[in-house]
Amino acid sequence: MDMLSDELLVDAYHAAIQFNLDSDFIKLLTVEMIRRQINPETYRITA
C-alpha cells in the first residue's frame, strides 16, 4: 500500500464502492486512508 499515491488510493476506494467490490477490500482501503489521515471527500474523483 505504501507505493500507492494518496490520490490513487482514494480513486481505488471510490471505484471499489461504485462497483460494489468485496467489503474486506473496501475495509483495507479505508484502514489505509485512516492510517494516512486522508479524508476521501477532499480528493477529486477521477475513477
CATH of the domain at 17: 1.10.287
47 in a structural domain: no
What is the residue range of 27's domain?
6-42
Task: Flag whether 1 is in a domain.
Answer: no
Is 11 inside any structural domain?
Answer: yes
pLDDT at 46: 61
User: pLDDT value at position 40?
Assistant: 87
Q: Is residue 23 part of a domain?
A: yes
In a domain, residue 28? The reply is yes
pLDDT of residue 15: 96
How many domains is the chain partitioned into structurally? 1
- Residue type, position 8, single letter: L
Size of the chain, expressed as the number of residues it contains:
47
Which runs of consecutive H residues, i.e. helices, occur in 1-47? 6-18, 23-35
pLDDT given for residue 12 in this prediction: 95
Per-residue pLDDT of the chain (47 residues; tens, 9 = 90+): 889 999 999 999 999 999 999 999 999 999 999 999 999 888 766 65
Q: What is the pTM of this model?
A: 0.85
CA distance 37 to 24: 20
